[in-house]
């Protein structure tokens, strides 16, 4: 490799790095990330908590143990996780 080749390669590398650094930062990326976090966390929390509350209410009405509470809590957690996974898949699309 001659000196001219090395110099041309270094020039291309510097131009490539300069173009990457000078690329404008997307100001909406932080807000988009926060929205994605919310779209993942809230469904899990709300459906899990809602299932537990509804199950506790049903257990109190039926006068039994914690069968409905545990069942609906599990169902809420699974449903919330599926919704969160779908939100993640949709959020990763360009």
Q: Do residues 52 and 67 lie in contact, with contact meaning Cβ atoms separated by under 8 Å?
A: no
Does 1 score more than 80 pLDDT? no
> With the CA atoms of 83, 84, 88 and 91 taken in that order, what torsion angle do they form, in degrees rounded to the nearest 10?
70
Residue 25 corresponds to which tokens in the numbers above?
A: 């930062």
List the chain domain ranges.
27-91
pLDDT of residue 77: 96
User: What digits encode the pLDDT tens for the residues 29-80?
Assistant: 777 778 778 888 899 999 999 999 999 999 999 987 899 999 999 999 999 9
Q: Do residues 73 and 86 lie in contact, with contact meaning Cβ atoms separated by under 8 Å?
A: no
The residue among 73 and 88 whose pLDDT is bigger is 73
Does 18 score more than 70 pLDDT? yes
Does 9 score more than 60 pLDDT? yes
């Amino acid at each position: 490799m001659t000196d001219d080749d090395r110099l041309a390669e270094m020039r291309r590398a510097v131009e490539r790095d300069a173009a990457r650094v000078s690329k404008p930062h997307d100001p909406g990326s932080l807000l988009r990330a926060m929205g994605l976090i919310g779209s993942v966390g809230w469904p899990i929390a709300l459906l899990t908590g809602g299932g537990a509350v509804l199950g506790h209410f049903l257990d109190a009405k039926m006068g039994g143990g914690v069968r409905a509470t545990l069942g609906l809590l599990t169902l809420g957690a699974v449903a919330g996780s599926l919704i969160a996974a779908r939100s993640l898949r949709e959020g990763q699309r360009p």
